[in-house]
Structure 1
Amino acid sequence: MVEVDGVPMSALVAAVPRPRAVVLALHGGAVSPAYFDAPGHPRLSLLRTGAALGFTVVALARPGYGASAPHAERVARAERRVDLAYGAVHALLGPAPRGAGLFVLAHSVGSELAVRMAARGNGDGLLGLEMSGTGRRHHDRAAALLGPGDGNRDRLPPAGSIRHLIWGPEHLYPDGTIGHPALRSAAPAYEGGVVAGWNSDLPELAARVRVPVRYTLAEHETVWRPGRAALEEVAALFTAAPRVAVDEQAGGGHNLSLGFAAAAYHWKALAFAEECAAAADETSGGAPDGTT
């Protein structure tokens, strides 16, 4: 745990001595950073896979989660959360090398913070962005429970229906993963506003992103509308990005980093991070072994 501007921040960190780059992983709503460590299934862990491939991986408890949960009201403002995320990486790693720079990988609601970090500019050494489990239009099943995706709803969804929505189809996940106690976390109150504003905030933020972007939807995504048209709709928003890649992850469900498809997804996302690092090396003249 570290303190950033008076706010305690926590994370799971898998550090290597000479990293190719640093991967900052931002979890989704009502879940802990253990989302990126696949409890009981190390082969599916982003932290372990990333470290094995030479990346330092920081799975941050987003502001309002983990150690900062008691300070949720103080971290609700968007710009404050961006500052805390960048500051937490700096404090957690201290003088340790960063390699080519920082790559952000985000899931679901965590994509909001990730896009805001990328939209602020590249003064923070940002290499690129990967996001999954998000979109512009809800899947038909989700729309019936949550509304069309614009944050408007006139009723609460039935008890248990959200769990079925975000964890379906259940055969995509190893036994014991769904409902694992290490994954559960209360969501801060401000997150309701984040969800409500996402459909209008994303186009404005995406247009300001000037680093490479990769956007992934799971083949069996049930919260957001899947398919090629949905991928291209979001990709088209990143008008200033030098490169935008899209992918449909075969065999994946909404919680991509916890299912049987997690290993394949992580390898592809980290390959994109490597491409971003290589591009940074070409620009700066840095060495490909993690030194600068």
Structure 2
Amino acid sequence: MSIPFTHTHGDRRYSGRSNLDRVERADGAPLVIALHGGTYTSEYFDIPGYSLLDRATERGIPVIALDRPNYVDSSPLESEDSIILANAAVLGDAIGSIWEQYGEASPGIVLLGHSIGGAVATAIAASAPSWPLLGLATSGCLVRVPQESRGAWESLPPIPMIDLPVPMKDQVMFGPAGTFADDMPAASHPSNTLVPKVELLDITGGWIGRRAEMCAQVDVPVYHRQGEFDALWVTDQGEVEQYRAGFTAAPTVDIELQLGSGHCIDFHSPSAEFQQGQLDFAREVAKAAVA
């Protein structure tokens, strides 16, 4: 399990969780910064039995999972344009100050993001940050959403923060029966929270329009897995190939379907395989950086 993490940069505060108190850093291990998706908190990465932070600790990899703006105790954020790009701007700056404080002997940072957090991480990577970015690992974001998705989000009540009913959320976040263990989806519920409505509208609208531009500006190695039964995106091999083709400047691109999983791969039966793959990627790009 993790410990609470707090960080202040300028007039903005960030909450989250980390394994910094118990990880014995392996030589050459990167610092991983993890960004959760919409409707989840940073606890997404630390559900018992499905914890990325626990697996990273076993591998000697330090991880800081941040609560994005508007979540838990992180400062609120508004934007008249893209809330995803606004997230990327303030988080990119915050990660720079986190690097100065916690980077220590690490060769650099690997950004890891799920769903909307994956879009935010991609936008940060596309911005050519001043701190040493080694790689980008994402999941749960692709090229197109089902036609009915944006209409469904637009029809939600006209209030800033949306509390999705748990049965509705579980239906779209999880794959069919047999793709997750008996303790799920219930085990994931402690990480549930409200979501800014503007995020739901941006990921299904504005982000899709700028996705190709953002991906084309990423110039670090990319690792992405998309759940085979992801109900929030149009998901098939053709869509995966189109997504892969967008990373024209990345030196390596490893993008595949994750078989036997819905949107939240971390909570499905392939969780261990998936997270170990992300951590393998993090170690590999860190090793390459010091070679």
TM-score for the superposition, normalised by structure 2: 0.83
**Distance in 2 of aligned mates of 1:174 and 1:98:** 38
**Distance in 2 of aligned mates of 1:62 and 1:260:** 27
**What secondary structure does 1:10 align onto?**
strand
The aligned amino acid for 1:56 is P
The aligned amino acid for 1:243 is T
Native 8 Å contact 1:35 1:258 kept in 2: no
**Distance in 1 of aligned mates of 2:221 and 2:59:** 20
Q: Against the structure 1 CA distance between its residues 155 and 53, is the aligned structure 2 distance closer, same or farther, given a 3 Å change threshold? A: same
Equivalent residue number for residue 218 of structure 1: 227
Equivalent residue number for residue 208 of structure 2: 199
Structure 1 stretches of at least 4 aligned residues deviating more than 3 Å after TM superposition: 74-80, 86-93, 151-163, 174-177
Match of 2:54 among 29, 36, 48: 48
Alignment of 1:1-292 (within 5 A): 1-15=6-20, 16-19=23-26, 20-38=29-47, 40-41=48-49, 44-68=50-74, 71-73=76-78, 80-89=86-95, 94-95=101-102, 97-138=104-145, 142-143=146-147, 145-147=148-150, 155=155, 160-179=167-186, 180-195=188-203, 196-282=205-291
**Distance in 2 of aligned mates of 1:13 and 1:202:** 29
- Deviation of the 1:100 alpha carbon: 1.7
The aligned amino acid for 2:202 is V
The aligned amino acid for 1:67 is D
Consecutive unaligned residues in structure 2, runs of 5 or more = 1-5, 158-163
State the superposition RMSD in angstroms. 2.7
**Distance in 2 of aligned mates of 1:65 and 1:245:** 30
**What secondary structure does 1:128 align onto?**
strand
Q: Against the structure 1 CA distance between its residues 272 and 192, is the aligned structure 2 distance closer, same or farther, given a 3 Å change threshold? A: same
Native 8 Å contact 2:31 2:103 kept in 1: no
**Distance in 1 of aligned mates of 2:69 and 2:41:** 11
Native 8 Å contact 1:216 1:249 kept in 2: yes
Deviates more, 1:82-91 or 1:201-210: 82-91
Equivalent residue number for residue 3 of structure 2: none
Native 8 Å contact 1:11 1:33 kept in 2: yes
The aligned amino acid for 2:214 is L
| Identical-residue share of aligned pairs (%) | 29
Equivalent residue number for residue 290 of structure 1: none
- Deviation of the 1:162 alpha carbon: 4.8
**Distance in 2 of aligned mates of 1:97 and 1:86:** 18
Consecutive unaligned residues in structure 1, runs of 5 or more = 283-292
Cα shift readout 1:39-83 (whole Å, capped 9, x = no counterpart): x32xx21111112112101111112212125x2337975555334
**What secondary structure does 2:111 align onto?**
strand
The aligned amino acid for 1:5 is G
**Distance in 2 of aligned mates of 1:186 and 1:116:** 23
How many residues align? The count is: 271
